[in-house]
Amino acid sequence: MLKTTDRDGKNHEKIISREKSGTVNGNQLQAVIDAVSCLNRPCMVDIYVPSDHIVAAWKQGWTKLWQQSGGKNAKGKTVRNWEEWEVLLKLLTGHSVRFYEKEKTK
Indicate the SS3 state at residue 28.
Answer: helix
Query: Mean pLDDT, to the nearest integer, of 72-92?
Result: 95
Specify the pLDDT at position 19. Answer: 65
How confident is residue 18, by pLDDT bands cut at 50, 70 and 90?
low
Count of Cβ atoms closer than 10 Å to residue 12 Cβ = 9
What pTM does this model have? Answer: 0.81
Residue ranges with strand state E in the chain: 2-5, 11-14, 44-49, 96-101
Choose between 17 and 82: higher pLDDT.
82
